[in-house]
Amino acid sequence: GEDVEQSLFLSVREGDSSVINCTYTDSSSTYLYWYKQEPGAGLQLLTYIFSNMDMKQDQRLTVLLNKKDKHLSLRIADTQTGDSAIYFCAEADRGSYIPTFGRGTSLIVHP
Amino acid sequence: GAVVSQHPSRVICKSGTSVKIECRSLDFQATTMFWYRQFPKQSLMLMATSNEGSKATYEQGVEKDKFLINHASLTLSTLTVTSAHPEDSSFYICSAPQKMAEAFFGQGTRLTVV
Q: What does the pLDDT read at residue B100? A: 65
- CB of B35 closer than 8 Å to CB of B52: no
Do B107 and A41 lie within an 8 Å CB cutoff? yes
Q: What digits encode the pLDDT tens for the residues B48-94?
A: 999 998 999 999 999 999 999 999 899 999 999 999 999 999 999 99
CB–CB contact B105 A43 (8 Å): yes
Q: How far apart are the first and last CA of chain B?
A: 37
Is residue B39 predicted with pLDDT exceeding 90?
A: no
Q: Is residue A87 within 8 angstroms of chain B, CB to CB? A: no
Q: How many CB pairs under 8 A join A and B?
A: 51
Give the pLDDT of residue B45: 92
Confidence class of residue A1 from pLDDT cuts 50, 70 and 90?
very low
Nearest CB neighbour to B93, from listed A43, A92, A97:
A43
Residues B74, B52: Cα–Cα separation, whole Å: 6
For residue A41, give every residue at least 6 positions away whose Cβ sits within 8 Å of its Cβ, in sequence order, or none.
Answer: B107, B108
User: What residue ranges in A7-104 does DSSP mark as E strands?
Assistant: 9-13, 18-24, 29-37, 43-50, 55-58, 61-66, 71-76, 85-93, 100-101
**What are the tens digits of pLDDT across the range A51-63?**
888 999 999 999 9
pLDDT for the residue B57: 94
